[in-house]
């Protein structure tokens, strides 16, 4: 490689900024291919000048500089220096005004960072470092300024002009143009700046805050789509009320705007009072959105709204602290969704996704701490670790401090740091100080990467009436961290008696009133024994209830004990978990037998336990749906020494068939009993019935070979569906069955929804997820379909991302065709949108987990990517770390 390799920056090198920017006055003259931006910055030196003036280094990227003036004096080429990192003024005065004019090309901005055009709408994405693609600036989160933004644009093409804060004035000007002026009274970092201009329709509503502030709420979308914004608006109002009630946090302006755009790198963005969303997380009606889509909208709308306090009012000092706002805000949106829906079901779904995305990340070459120590490209660090493990860390604090103690900590955090850019240490200090506890050891969760492993053994001493549980913890080595110190792990557990009741537990040395039916133990040492006294003979041990800590547990439990927990544990999560671990044991054993060519029958106790769940009318349907669904292929893969995707797939299919064969009558009854009762409603209870019915239908379809009418039945279910959830469920099963029914349904789906980009994404994804052997050929052909475009992240994720990350069986084809495809697509996408290209790369980095043949092919694909000229820092970082 001839080009200089991108370099890493380190958390330890943080220094406060040399200059402050107090106010920013922006003027945009919008034209798609040539937009003029004037910025007037009021700048003061942050240091005393006894040691002389320090240079002012403003960031800039892809900017054309038109002019720069200091205190009104136009600077000549000798007064500043321009390079590819930005603009430097060697020795500016202690306080001055800088006027900068730049020209940018939003229409050519395919990276979708900075100011860009999406379907004729101008919009911005400035997190993390997009503002420097608009003007030269101290583009770092600890520089907080108040912004005044003037937008000038063609009135007919862009009737709606939006920015942060309050609208100060709007008027028409000559040449068919108009002007809007916005002012945001709250100081904010540049990454929270936003601008939108376009011809948009709007759904308007109101919300009165607890203290009586009347807030106007607006959701802007493409014309004709207003009717699909009702659910998002309802979520927004519920989120606003919830944050007042749960955390005492109230909205702080008279206006809150959301804009939905179709081209967006991520889910959504919490710009102050002007959230910009991927329209996937706004638009919904029963025809086009599934229950999962509705739940996603509820979560993301709430998440971005909650950022107003945890992100906007209190932001991050530097990007190493990203989880300060993201982990905390994910924790908050999870609590919200748990209160709106079923708490155990939400927990189960979050743990499924943690295990599918974060645990593999933590076990691979891209493992990093929740508070990373270094990065090359910050956009690569919007990861499952920062977001989801970060949320687990916050959740563990709440488990340790209790909900009231946690609230005290939040109150102190807001009181201390409102208006500041702070660190994860500041957050932990507020929690510790408000509760008078020491979180010193606990904070290793921020600094140590890797998923801790807990080996647990229990033994009962009949004579003494005592139960001893010994816990050994170990955190595997991760890049740059060969040795780990013991963590503080809050471990929720209980013991069940023969009737399935919780035994009251008291530790040796505790007084009798400490006894409680379940305990949260503080696991802090490498090896620790907990001795419970006055214990009657227990029947089963239940550990990590509610998934109280994000760890892997090894606990030797037989099928009978797991089945007992499935039926009786007082903790719903633990009942689900017992079933998952039981199924995992069976699937791992069967996968091994398949490799040796000698399968033996499955333990009937598991199928019987599934049958009991199907017949237990007292269970919430949404929970029953989760409890009978087998662990995913990637979870089984994580548990195998050398991943064998084919053996895993066959083992899982065989267990599905065994369940279908033994429980056919129960499954048919569930399908019949949970048929759609009337018009579709997206509430959790109705969604739960659909989920249960569709899991049952999935089992019945698993026996396609025995029941030849299956494809016809699925096609009929597809045709009869009156909502997208049921339609997709039938089609998902049908795409795995080769035949005319599959094609008929796919064609019908395409023709019915050809004009709905979001639904066509589902059509692309379903085909990419198919288990049929020709899936890669079909995916390759779909790259040429008019509905596909590399410029559109939603399309890329739907077709390429679903195949590479969601179809292990076909992606890991032994001939390496999936890897070659992945490398080709990465190289084609990188020059267009490096952020999205880099994010898709993770599956190739898991090569260590596969057999020698696949390893060689995966590494070759990575090496081919790395050898390409002009690679972005984004893809370079992921590919090089993946090969290291
Ligand atoms: N802060 C946004 C959120 O709510 C994510 C934005 C990330 N953007 C990016 N370019 N990496 O989670
Ligand atoms: Zn966020």
Based on the domain organization, do 540 and 564 belong to the same domain? no
Q: How far is the CA of 351 from the centre of ligand 2 (A)?
A: 19
Q: Give the residues across from 467 on adjacent strands.
A: 460, 532
Task: Determine contact, residues 453/471, Cβ cutoff 8 Å.
Answer: no
Both 523 and 620 in one domain: the answer is no
Which residue, judged by its Cα, is nearest atom 5 of ligand 1?
Answer: 269
- Residue at 461 is within a domain: yes
766 and 653 co-located in one domain: no
Atom 3 in ligand 1: residue holding the nearest Cα: 269
Question: What is the number of the ligand 1 atom nearest to the C-alpha of 130?
Answer: 10
The predicted pLDDT at position 678 comes to 87
476 and 544 part of one domain: yes
Last-in-domain residue among 666, 688, 703 = 703
Query: Of ligand 1's atoms, which has the minimum distance to the CA of residue 387?
Result: 12
Asked if residue 281 is part of any domain, the answer here is: no
Q: Whose CA is nearest to atom 8 of ligand 1?
A: 127
Angle between helices 852-866 and 873-883 (to 10 degrees): 150
Ligand 1, atom 1, lies closest to the CA of 269
Residue 329 CA to ligand 2 center (angstroms) comes to: 6
Mutate to test the pocket of ligand 1, among 266, 275, 282 (most ligand atoms within 8 A of CB): 266
In the prediction, which pLDDT does 593 show? Answer: 98
- 611 pLDDT above the threshold of 70: yes
Could you report the per-residue pLDDT of 200-213, keeping only the tens digit for each? 999 999 999 999 99
**Which residues share a beta bridge with 177?**
154, 173
Q: Token digits for 852?
A: 């020698």
Q: DSSP letter string over 223-263?
A: TT-GGGGHHHHHHHHHHHHHHHHHH-----SSEEEEEEES-
36 and 122, same domain (yes or no): yes
Ligand 1 atom nearest residue 311's Cα: 1
Is the pLDDT at 1 greater than 50? The verdict is no
519-535 average pLDDT score: 98
Asked whether residue 244 carries a pLDDT value surpassing 60, the answer given is yes
Q: Which ligand is nearest to the CA of 127?
A: 1
Q: Per this entry, what is the length of the chain?
A: 884
Q: Tell how far the Cα of 337 is from the centroid of ligand 2, in angstroms.
A: 15
Nearest-CA residue for atom 2 of ligand 1: 269
The band of 3, judged by pLDDT with boundaries at 50, 70 and 90, is low
Whether 590 has a pLDDT exceeding 70, the answer reads yes
pLDDT in tens, 375-403: 999 999 999 999 999 999 999 999 999 99
Looking from the CA of residue 326, the nearest atom of ligand 1 is: 12
Q: What is the pLDDT of residues 724-774, one digit of tens each?
A: 999 999 999 999 999 999 999 999 999 999 999 999 999 999 999 999 999
- Beta-sheet strands, E only, within 408-544: 421-422, 453-461, 466-474, 489-496, 519-523, 527-532, 540-543
Closest CA to 16 of 185, 191, 144: 144
Of 703, 720, 742, which closes a domain? 703
Closest ligand 1 atom to residue 325 Cα is 1
pLDDT digits (tens, 9 = 90+) for 98-114: 999 999 999 999 999 99
In a domain, 433, yes or no: yes
**CB within 8 Å of 715: residues ≥ 6 apart:** 730, 734, 741, 744, 745
Distance separating alpha carbons of residues 390 and 185, to the nearest angstrom: 30
Question: What's the CATH number where 173 sits?
Answer: 2.60.40.1730
224: phi > 0 → left, psi -120 to 50 → alpha, else beta; which? left
Q: Which domain holds residue 884?
A: 754-884
* 868 within some domain: yes
Distance between CA atoms of residues 823 and 829, nearest Å:
10
User: Which two structure tokens, joined as six digits, stand for 33?
Assistant: 């291919």
- The reply to whether 343 and 408 lie within a common domain is yes
In percent, how much of the chain has pLDDT > 90? 97
Q: Which of 533, 551, 569 is the last residue of a domain?
A: 551
Pick the residue whose CA is nearest to atom 11 on ligand 1. 379
pLDDT digits (tens, 9 = 90+) for 635-692: 999 999 999 999 999 999 999 999 999 999 999 999 999 988 789 999 999 999 999 9
Q: What is the DSSP string of 186-229?
A: EEE-GGG--EEEE--EEEEEEEE-TT--EEEEEEEESTT-GGGG
Mean pLDDT of all residues in 838-860: 98
What average pLDDT score do residues 455-477 get? 98
* Mutation pick for ligand 1 pocket among 109, 123, 127 (CB with most ligand atoms within 8 Å): 127
User: What's the 118 CA to ligand 1 centre distance in angstroms?
Assistant: 18
Tell me: pLDDT of 2 over 90: no
The average pLDDT across 302-316 equals: 99
**Residue 494: phi, psi to the nearest 5?**
-160, 165
Longest CA–CA separation in the chain, Å:
95
Question: Cα(793) to centroid of ligand 1, in Å?
Answer: 14
Domain count, the chain: 5
Classify each residue of 632-662 as buried b or exposed e, where b means 16 or more C-beta atoms within 10 Å of its C-beta.
bbbbbbbbbeebbbebbbbbbebbbbbbbeb
Residues 442 and 457 in one domain: no
pLDDT digits (tens, 9 = 90+) for 572-581: 999 999 999 9
pLDDT at 676: 80
Classify residue 230: in a domain, yes or no. no
Residues 12 and 135 in one domain: yes
Average pLDDT, the chain: 97
Q: Which residues are catalytic?
A: 304
- Do 572 and 511 lie in one domain? The reply is no
Q: How far is CA 866 from CA 365, 541, 575, 752, 797, in A?
A: 16, 50, 46, 42, 22
Q: Give yes or no: residues 875 and 853 share one domain.
A: yes
53/67 same-domain check: yes
Structural domain includes residue 265: no
- CA separation for the pair 46, 56 (Å, rounded): 11
pLDDT in tens, 425-446: 999 999 999 999 999 999 999 9
What is the distance in A from the centroid of ligand 2 to the CA of 51?
40
Ligand 1 centre to CA of 304 (Å) is 10
Residue 706 has pLDDT above 70, yes or no: no
The ligand that comes nearest to the alpha carbon of residue 382 is 1
Domain assignment present for 276? no
Question: Residue 874 is part of a domain; what is its CATH number?
Answer: 1.25.50.10
Judge whether 360 lies within some domain.
yes
Nearest ligand by distance to the CA of 333: 2
* Cα(92) to centroid(ligand 2), Å: 36
Atom of ligand 1 minimally distant from the CA of 382:
11
User: Ligand 1 center to residue 744 CA distance, Å?
Assistant: 39
List pocket residues of ligand 1, CB cut-off 6 Å.
125, 127-128, 265-266, 268-270, 303-304, 326, 379, 382, 835
My answer on whether 38 and 121 are in the same domain is yes
d(CA 680, CA 686): 8
* Atom of ligand 1 at shortest range from CA of 113: 10
Q: Quote the pTM value.
A: 0.98
């Amino acid at each position: 490689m001839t080009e200089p390799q991108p370099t890493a920056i380190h958390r330890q090198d943080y220094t406060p900024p040399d200059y402050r920017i107090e106010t920013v006055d922006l003027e945009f003259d919008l034209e798609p291919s040539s937009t003029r931006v004037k910025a007037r910055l009021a700048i003061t030196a942050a240091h005393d000048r006894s040691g002389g003036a320090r240079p002012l280094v403003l960031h800039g990227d892809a900017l054309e500089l038109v002019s720069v003036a200091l205190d009104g004096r136009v600077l000549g080429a000798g007064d500043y220096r321009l390079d590819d990192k930005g603009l430097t003024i060697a020795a500016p005065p202690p306080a001055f005004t800088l006027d900068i004019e730049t020209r940018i090309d939003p229409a050519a901005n395919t990276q979708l960072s900075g100011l860009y055009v999406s379907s004729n709408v101008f919009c911005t994405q400035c997190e993390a470092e997009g503002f420097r693609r608009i003007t030269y600036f101290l583009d770092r989160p600890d520089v907080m300024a108040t912004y005044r933004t003037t937008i000038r644009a063609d009135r007919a093409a862009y009737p709606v002009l939006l920015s942060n804060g309050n609208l100060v004035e709007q008027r028409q000007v000559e040449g068919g143009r108009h002007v809007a002026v916005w002012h945001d009274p709250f100081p904010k970092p540049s990454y929270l700046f936003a601008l939108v201009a376009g011809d948009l329709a709007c759904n308007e509503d109101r919300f009165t805050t607890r203290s009586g502030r009347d807030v106007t709420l607006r959701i802007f979308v493409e014309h004709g789509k207003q009717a699909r914004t009702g659910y998002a608006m309802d979520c927004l109002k519920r989120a606003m009320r919830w944050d007042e009630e749960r955390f005492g946090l109230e909205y702080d302006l008279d206006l809150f705007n959301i804009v939905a755009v179709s081209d967006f790198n991520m889910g959504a963005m919490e710009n102050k009072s002007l959230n910009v969303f991927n329209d996937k997380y706004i638009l919904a009606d029963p025809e086009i959105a599934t229950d999962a889509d509705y739940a996603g909208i509820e979560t993301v709308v709430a998440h971005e709204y909650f950022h107003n306090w945890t992100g906007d009012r209190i932001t991050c000092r530097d990007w190493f602290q990203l989880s300060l706002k993201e982990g905390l805000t994910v924790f908050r949106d999870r609590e919200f969704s748990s209160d709106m829906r079923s708490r155990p079901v939400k927990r189960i779904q979050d743990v499924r996704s943690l295990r599918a995305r974060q645990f593999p990340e933590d076990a691979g070459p891209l493992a990093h701490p929740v508070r990373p120590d270094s990065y090359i490209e910050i956009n690569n660090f919007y990861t499952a670790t920062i977001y989801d493990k970060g949320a687990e860390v916050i959740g563990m604090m709440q488990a340790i401090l209790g909900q009231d103690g946690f609230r005290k900590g939040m109150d102190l955090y807001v009181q201390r740091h409102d208006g500041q850019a702070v660190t994860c240490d500041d957050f932990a200090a507020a929690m510790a100080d408000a509760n008078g506890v020491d979180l010193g050891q606990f904070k290793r969760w921020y600094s140590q990467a890797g998923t801790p492993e807990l080996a647990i053994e229990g033994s009962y001493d009949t004579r003494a009436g005592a139960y001893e549980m010994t816990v050994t913890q170990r955190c595997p080595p991760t890049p740059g961290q060969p040795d780990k110190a013991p963590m503080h792990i809050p471990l929720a557990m209980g013991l069940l008696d023969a009737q399935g009741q919780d035994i009251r537990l008291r530790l040796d040395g505790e007084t009798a009133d400490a006894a409680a039916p379940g305990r949260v133990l503080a696991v802090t040492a490498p090896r620790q024994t907990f001795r419970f006294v006055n214990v009657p003979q227990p029947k089963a041990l239940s550990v990590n209830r509610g998934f109280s800590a994000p760890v892997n547990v090894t606990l030797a439990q037989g099928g009978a004990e797991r089945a007992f927990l499935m039926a009786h544990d007082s903790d719903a999560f633990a009942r689900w978990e017992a079933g998952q671990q039981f199924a995992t044991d069976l699937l791992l054993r069967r996968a091994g037998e398949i490799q040796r060519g000698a399968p033996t029958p499955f333990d009937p106790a598991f199928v019987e336990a599934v049958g009991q769940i199907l017949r237990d009318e007292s269970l919430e349907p949404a929970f029953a749906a989760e409890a009978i669904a087998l662990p995913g292929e990637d979870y089984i893969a994580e548990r195998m020494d050398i991943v064998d995707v084919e053996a895993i797939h066959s083992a899982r299919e065989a267990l599905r068939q065994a369940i279908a064969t033994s429980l056919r009558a129960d499954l048919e009854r569930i399908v019949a009993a949970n048929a759609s009762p009337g018009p579709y409603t997206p509430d959790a209870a109705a969604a739960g019935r659909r989920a249960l019915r569709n899991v049952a239908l999935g089992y019945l379809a698993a026996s396609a070979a025995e029941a030849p009418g299956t494809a016809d039945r699925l096609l009929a279910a597809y045709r009869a569906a009156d909502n997208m959830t049921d339609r997709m469920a039938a089609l998902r099963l049908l795409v795995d069955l080769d035949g005319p029914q599959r094609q008929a349904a796919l064609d019908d789906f395409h023709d019915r929804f050809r004009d709905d980009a979001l639904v066509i994404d589902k059509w692309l994804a379903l085909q990419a997820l198919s288990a049929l052997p020709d899936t890669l050929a079909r995916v390759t052909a779909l790259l040429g379909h008019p509905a596909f475009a590399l410029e559109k992240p939603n399309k890329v994720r739907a077709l390429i991302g679903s195949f590479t990350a969601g179809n292990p069986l076909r992606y890991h084809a032994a001939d390496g065709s999936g890897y070659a495809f992945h490398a080709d697509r990465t190289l084609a996408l990188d020059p267009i949108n490096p952020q999205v290209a880099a994010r898709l790369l993770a599956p190739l980095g898991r090569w260590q987990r596969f057999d020698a043949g696949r390893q060689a092919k995966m590494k070759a694909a990575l090496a081919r990517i790395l050898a390409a000229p002009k690679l972005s820092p984004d893809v370079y970082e992921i590919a090089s770390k993946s090969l290291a």
